[in-house]
Amino acid sequence: MKRSYSKYSAKDDLLWLILRPWIFIPRVLYILLTFIFLFLRILFQGNSKNKNVQKNLSKYLFDVITDLGPCFIKLGQALSTRPDLVRQDWLTELTKLQDNLPAFDHKIALKIIEEEFGSTANELFEEFPDSPIASASLGQVYKAKINNSYLAVKVQRPNLYFLIRRDVVILRFLGTFLSPLLPLNIGVGIGEIIDEFGKALFNEIDYQKEADNALRFANLFKENPNIFIPKLEKKFSSKRVITTSWIDGVKLRDRALLEENNLIPASFIKTCVISGLQQLFEFGYFHADPHPGNMFALKGGNADCGNLAYVDFGMMDTITNSDRLTLIKAIVHIINEEYYLLAEDFQKLGFLTEEQDLQKLVEPLKEVLGGSFGAEVGNFNLKNVTDKFSKLMYSYPFRVPSRFALIIRAVVSQEGLALRLDPEFKILKIAYPYIAKKLLTDNSEEILDILLEVVFDKKGKIQIEKVQSLLNILFSDSENINSDLIPVANAGLKLFVSKKGSEVRKNLLLSLIKDEKLEFTDAKKLLALIRDTFSPLNIAKSAVQNIISTV
């Protein structure tokens, strides 16, 4: 029985390669020697101030990654999204890894199309070009035409299954062998993380799965006017070819390029980050490869939220409902500076073992996370925290659960993309208000439980400071207070009078009773906070803003 090429198995694939030493040994030696030469060149030339030296070094880095093949190109793509980690002159070259790689022979692409559909490209389409318009790690894209409409036809690179199967096995072998020698402490074996990477790659080379992913992703965002997903053309899609409607947009690669096209970079950053948060915290299904080559800025939208198109749905992943809710709790605990509860969240997510004494981590977590915000939580930057967290992970028994490998990749790539467009971007300036609004407007049982934890302590007492902190985060600027005030007020009122709100009403009543006496101090503070936040003037501003936004 022929084994499905989209199925990844670390054990079976390792056995397959070990039984072929004529493939395994030369490839391992080639990879090791390539990286040794790269390391030596970076060591001797990396700090040179000569522009020509750096230009040649960046070109050499691009050539090395390209030569090593699809697995390494995927890793390089992730690196190409981090302007805070990679020199700008190197970054310019690495950006080519996203969609400007050397193309494979056009005749081979035509042969693959004919093998998949039983007809030539010229028989299938009214117009089919003589060369691809873009070439990426796993395939190349042609701009074809049918019925006066343009289509994006992506054709898979030849021999891809063999190349990925071979190199994932070798990456796992080298990673497992060399990890004890590296200055890293990721807890779980690096092999498990490479397994997740391997599974994602094997899924990505099956374009039928990508087609299903595209349909599912489009359905999730069908009510969002700012997110556009190209239409799948099933008639021209198969296991090695996928065809969608053509996207006329500008890639989120360069701020100047967006401005040249009269597009506002900040508006696309917000749409990009909010849609990413929705994927993680609402849908539980996310695009795990959000680099600039897979995202386009479109005309339309407004100065606050630009119109954004996603493409390439090969690398997708899910997050469990339990993990999703725990991550929301973790963000709330960071907001409230509750580091013991945050340590419990890490433990539940698998970053800490069940045996770990969490009390010992309170001060280190406070130092790493609390110190990163300064006077304003919006100053949070993943790079700042990552630098400190790497030291914390080396000193304490933190580990990275393998199931978080693609989540971390997606979040880090997305922040890197935003930093390319705005070097001063702070991800939590958008993420915190999003979480605050979700807590205040989402009436699901799970979110209600988290909200109750914020509003009331374990004794049922109202935590005024935390409620105020939540509202301050949501309404910290005029844009948010104008657009979010009425939705939050409506949701709060509906919750209070609904069946679900019985727990809220009960806790509010209990909070008024202290030592068998009625105590109205906290209630007065809460009413004053609500009155100041939802004043008639603010409500009027919100109504006007909502009317303007719909005109």
Q: What positions carry a catalytic annotation?
A: 289
**Pair 155, 113: CB distance under 8 Å:** yes
The whole-angstrom separation of Cα 501 and Cα 443 is 9
Residue type, 122: N
**Pair 339, 373: CB distance under 8 Å:** no
DSSP class of 243: E
Contacts 24+ apart (CB under 8 A), 174-183: 174/28, 174/31, 174/32, 183/394
DSSP class of 131: S
The region that residue 118 occupies, defined by phi over 0 for left and psi between -120 and 50 for alpha, beta otherwise, is left
Residue type, 160: L
Nearest to 456 by CA among 529, 494, 506: 506
Q: Where are the beta strands (DSSP E) in 250-358?
A: 250-251, 285-287, 295-298, 307-310, 316-318
Nearest to 155 by CA among 276, 241, 221, 70: 241
DSSP class of 42: H
Strand partners for 143:
152
Farthest CA pair distance, the chain: 86
**Pair 139, 296: CB distance under 8 Å:** no
Give DSSP secondary structure letters for 163-181: HHHHHHHHHHHHHHHHGGG
Residues 6+ apart with CB under 8 A from 179: 186, 189, 190
The whole-angstrom separation of Cα 148 and Cα 213 is 27
**Pair 286, 317: CB distance under 8 Å:** yes
Whole-angstrom Cα Rg for the chain:
26
Residues 6+ apart with CB under 8 A from 191: 10, 172, 175, 176
**Pair 430, 423: CB distance under 8 Å:** no
Place of tokens 């994006």: 152
Mapped onto helix, strand or coil, the DSSP state of residue 18 is: helix
Place of tokens 């999703």: 324
Phi, psi at 145, each rounded to 5°? -135, 140
